[in-house]
Structure 1
Amino acid sequence: MILKCIAVDDEPLALGLICSFIEQTPFLQLVGKYSSAAEALQNLHELKPDILFLDVQMPDLSGMELARILSKTSSSPAIIFTTAFNHFALEGYKVNALDYLLKPFNYEEFLGAANKALSLKELKEAFGTSKDTEGYSHCLFLKSEYQLVKVQYKDILYIEGLKDYAKVYLNTGEKPILSLISLKSLEQKLPSQQFIRVHRSYIIPLDKIKSVTRNTVQIGDKYITVGDQYKEAFNNFLSRWM
């Protein structure tokens, strides 16, 4: 499998180094190099790269601004930031960057990031879709800490929404998975016959319900309040089993 790459950096030496790393990596193909993020943006649709190696601080349009633009599209390439400043890491996570290379980085570090992109591409092609759950009724894949994590539906204890994040609690004893996805978006990905939203901050799997009262649901040792706007849907579900 060959991944098409674009390199963007306003520093000629840094741009040359990235391009040389790409060219010596067998599964990477350099299809474009730019000293301007704005120029790269104009050519992305035509070149359709798999990976965008992107500097953060550039004049006119910054790499982070370009990443925010691309995060709103359905066919964004994997973004690997290359920068001399480590304080952009959190912002990189928020725009779903695949990795973050801190300058000066060596070929081994570069290859590690490239291999992440290769694994992601292979994963998507193996599933025949770029969507997390399409065609799969037993699991979903969530972006967490710069990687895709496979989550079996049967292992989900409950899901808590935290602003722009979702925290997935598991019944396997593993630590919860924190993913940059809204609860609404995650709700749309989950099969409605297996999960139900009972509160603006909670989604629960129906098979994990231990007990119910008038206003609460027990999942394991946790009691979750059923929100007013979700009571009708939840009561309709209960009526089918009473």
Structure 2
Amino acid sequence: MNLTCAILHTDRQVSEQLEMFIAKTPFLSLCGEYSNPIEALKGYYENKVSLYFVGIQQEAMEGINGMEFSRLLSPSTRVIFIADTPRYAAECFRLDALDYLVSEISFLVFFEAVNKASRWFSLKGEAGMPFTLLPEKAQTEQPKVLYVKSDSRIIRLDMSRICYIEGLGDYVKIYSKDESKPVLSLCSMKYMEEKLPPDEFIRVHRSFIIRKDCIRTIESNKIALEKRSIPIGDVYRKKLKSYISNYSVL
């Protein structure tokens, strides 16, 4: 699959770095690089851009910033925002951004983001329709999400897909369903426990928080998930028993 892409950014150095990364990516084809949103919009319709890299603090004399520009694009076009601060991440993801890259972007981080775009368009082609064309009820139901900083990115995680979280000192590793690698974030387990809904997640060890519906079996000292056994800490055993007591055990 070959994806047409374009860049809208006022910082020429950032644009040049993106151009270099795009040239190294075999499935991307650059069809435009702009610093003016009006010109960018004109080129967008002429070239049928699939993927747009947009500077989040993009300002032009026409008064259109990056987020406003993204609202003018078709839902079938995916946007990766480029920023020098995580400040606008939540708002950008509410605009259904594909990714949000922060500051000094490495090629690895860039490639992970555009590979996500490639998967999205592949699935869209298999389904024969864009993901945005959902039943009316599904459009009104907003999924519970979690925003975490990992390297130079702000990543949006769907809570329903998180399987478990493992604490590693000042960091946590977040394991999600159908993802081969966890997301590593500078964050404490206490903070994660406070942010996760208690009706869906439970802390069972000082180093582990698990999603309740991922539990397969419970033994005296461990809990079996689909691909991992999690130890049960003595401090958290009472809370786990309380959770189990809400259900009938035959």
What is the TM-score normalised by the length of structure 1? 0.55
Q: Show structure 1 runs of 4+ deviating over 6 A.
A: 147-151
> How far apart, CA to CA, are the structure 2 residues paired with 1:33 and 1:95?
22
Query: Equivalents in 2 of 1:22, 1:128: separation in Å?
Result: 27
- CA distance 1:48–1:124, change in 2 (3 Å): same
Letter aligned with residue 17 of structure 2:
L
Aligned residues: 153
Alpha-carbon separation, structure 1, partners of 2:56 and 2:113: 16
Residue number among 55, 62, 66 corresponding to 1:63 in the alignment: 66
Deviations 1:75-122 (A, max 9, x none): 441000011011010111111101000011110000010011001001
Corresponding residue of 1:194: none
Q: Hey, what does 2:108 align to over in structure 1?
A: 108
User: Contact 2:59/2:66 (CA < 8 Å) preserved in 1?
Assistant: no
Tell me the residue number matched to 1:84: 84
Give the superposed CA RMSD: 3.4
| Contact kept? 2:5, 2:51, Cα under 8 Å | yes
Q: Which residue of 1 aligns with 2:7?
A: 7
Q: Secondary structure at the match of 1:81?
A: strand
Q: Which runs of 5+ in 1 are unaligned?
A: 152-166, 176-220, 222-242
Q: 1:44 to 1:133 in 2, by over 3 A?
A: closer
What are the residue-to-residue correspondences of 1:47-196 with 2, within 5 Å?
47-60=47-60, 61-70=64-73, 73=74, 75-131=75-131, 146=156, 173-174=212-213
CA shift at 1:147, angstroms?
A: 7.1
- In the alignment, is residue 16 of structure 1 matched against residue 16 of structure 2? yes
Deviation at 1:37, TM superposition (A): 2.1
**Residue number in structure 1 paired with 2:192:** none
Change (3 A) 1:42 1:132: closer
Q: What is the one-letter code of the residue matched to 2:70? A: A
Asked if 1 retains the 8 angstrom alpha-carbon contact of 2:6 and 2:32, the reply is yes
Question: Whole-Å Cα distance in 2 between the matches of residues 119 and 143 of structure 1?
Answer: 22
**SS state of the match for residue 13, structure 1?**
helix
Percent identity between the two aligned chains: 28
5+ residue gaps, structure 2, are: 146-155, 162-196, 201-210, 215-246
- Counterpart secondary structure, 1:45: helix
C-alpha contact 1:3 1:28 (8 A) present in aligned 2: yes
